[in-house]
Amino acid sequence: MFKNVGIIGYGAVVPRMRIKLEEIARVWGKDGAKVSAGLNVREKAVAAFDEDSCTLAVEAARIAVRNHDAARIGALFAGSESKPYAVKPTASIVADAIGASPDLTAADLEFACKAGTVGMQACMAMVASGMVDYGLAIGSDTAQGRPADALEFSSGSGAAAFLIGKNPIVELIDTFSFTTDTPDFWRRQHAEFPQHAGRFTGEPAYFKHVLSAAKGLFEKTGTTAKDYDFAVFHQPNGKFPLRAGEMLGFEKEKIKQGLITPFIGNTYSAASMIGLASVLDVVKPGQKIFVVSYGSGAGSDALAFEAKKGIEAARQPEAVFDLIGRDKVYVDYAVYAKHRRKLKTL
């Protein structure tokens, strides 16, 4: 059904500024080392004053389409939960900015942290059906966390974009999704910051959905963890994905390449997608990749891929591990608060 459909280009971006978790902890009188170790997150990426989920989406999209004719993109989905406009699509801005407009369909998608992978599924279906030549799926967030809230220690900024088409460099083997009404995290209309249900977001939410989607895909494809070389999970912190992987039978080594949250924080819609991008930076032809996203509310999309011959030539110019390691600037809480507009008058 999905023969010859998959990823033909990809790109990830991470803003330049970082704040160490210890610095956030200092402001709120917490033990930074303990918080950091508890979450397995050292620092998080901070979008600048003039960045938002739209500018990050455009930057990621430009990398993903750089070797392709953007005018052939027939569908563009921008997934985010930190949209600059509550009403008015980011997708149309991205389409204009990368030269995909005007002959395409486009929309913003929202499903907490999994809006990006939903976009990938939609694009793959549209390409497979012949409805469009190319589809572009983006996950992008400048993740919000209320000051002093547990989320503030992990909410990062970043984006990843995947160009979907035929003759892929990474072919989709199959996909399976699992969705229920589980309100573990939400943001009401007009509310500035999201609310969450504390530890409820663990077992009945994250783990139940991630594991169910993963097992569903194992069953559908007749595979087990042993059949995959890499596994990427949604990563609200640095610990959940390791535990989920362990429960599914993945060795730590298979998860490491796609585990990015410890270095940039949880980038929400972009989190599992940046993890996948990082795997594409190193994967060899013939190797298989297992991806499971998670979006609060709640649902998971599991996707299985196989890397093809073209992958080496199509790698992004700057690997994710280069992005997270190079040219970063550490800021203190005051500068972070300015850029993220946590001061009331901004």
Partner 1 sequence: MRHALPLIWRKSLERYRLIGCSCENCGTDYFPPRKVCPKCRRKGKIAPKQMPTEGKVYSYSLVHAAPSGFEFEAPYHVAIVELANGVRLLTQIVDSDAAKVKIGAPVKMVFRKIFEDDCEGVIAYGYKFKAV
Question: Is residue 54 a contact point for partner 1 (CB under 8 A)?
Answer: yes
Stretch that binds partner 1, among 54-62, 73-81, 218-226, 263-271 (CB under 8 A): 54-62
Q: How many whole angstroms separate alpha carbon 305 and alpha carbon 227?
A: 11
Stretch that binds partner 1, among 30-38, 94-102, 134-142, 250-258 (CB under 8 A): 94-102
Stretch that binds partner 1, among 22-30, 96-104, 110-118, 169-177 (CB under 8 A): 96-104
Least distance in Å: CB of 56 to partner 1? 9
Question: Is residue 62 a contact point for partner 1 (CB under 8 A)?
Answer: yes
42-to-23, 275, 330 alpha-carbon distances in Å: 10, 17, 12
3-state secondary structure of 290: strand
227-to-59, 224, 234, 287, 288 alpha-carbon distances in Å: 34, 6, 20, 9, 7
Q: Which residues are catalytically annotated?
A: 81, 113, 234
Stretch that binds partner 1, among 43-51, 139-147, 286-294, 297-305 (CB under 8 A): 43-51
Question: Is residue 338 a contact point for partner 1 (CB under 8 A)?
Answer: yes
Exposed e or buried b per residue across 178-216, where buried means at least 16 C-beta atoms within 10 angstroms of its C-beta: bbeebebbebeeeeeebebeeeebeeebbbbbbbbbbeb
Closest among 158, 153, 147 to 237, alpha carbons compared = 153
- For partner 1, the binding residue among 16, 72, 220, 239 (CB under 8 A) is 16
Least distance in Å: CB of 73 to partner 1? 14
4-to-85, 124, 128, 149 alpha-carbon distances in Å: 36, 10, 8, 45
188-to-101, 195, 196 alpha-carbon distances in Å: 32, 8, 11
Q: Residue 59 or residue 81: which is nearer to partner 1 going by CB?
A: 59
Q: How many whole angstroms separate alpha carbon 101 and alpha carbon 95?
A: 5
3-state secondary structure of 128: helix
Question: Is residue 330 a contact point for partner 1 (CB under 8 A)?
Answer: no
- For partner 1, the binding residue among 4, 49, 322, 330 (CB under 8 A) is 49
Question: Is residue 335 a contact point for partner 1 (CB under 8 A)?
Answer: no
Question: Is residue 42 a contact point for partner 1 (CB under 8 A)?
Answer: no
* DSSP annotation of 3: T
Stretch that binds partner 1, among 31-39, 50-58, 241-249, 309-317 (CB under 8 A): 50-58
Q: How many whole angstroms separate alpha carbon 300 and alpha carbon 238?
A: 18
Question: Is residue 50 a contact point for partner 1 (CB under 8 A)?
Answer: yes
Q: How many whole angstroms separate alpha carbon 95 and alpha carbon 104?
A: 8
Q: Residue 209 or residue 328: which is nearer to partner 1 going by CB?
A: 328
Amino acid (one-letter) located at 310? G
Least distance in Å: CB of 246 to partner 1? 38
Question: Is residue 131 a contact point for partner 1 (CB under 8 A)?
Answer: no
Least distance in Å: CB of 269 to partner 1? 18
- Which residues lie near partner 1 (CB under 8 A)? 16, 48-52, 54-55, 58-59, 62, 84-85, 93, 96-99, 338, 346
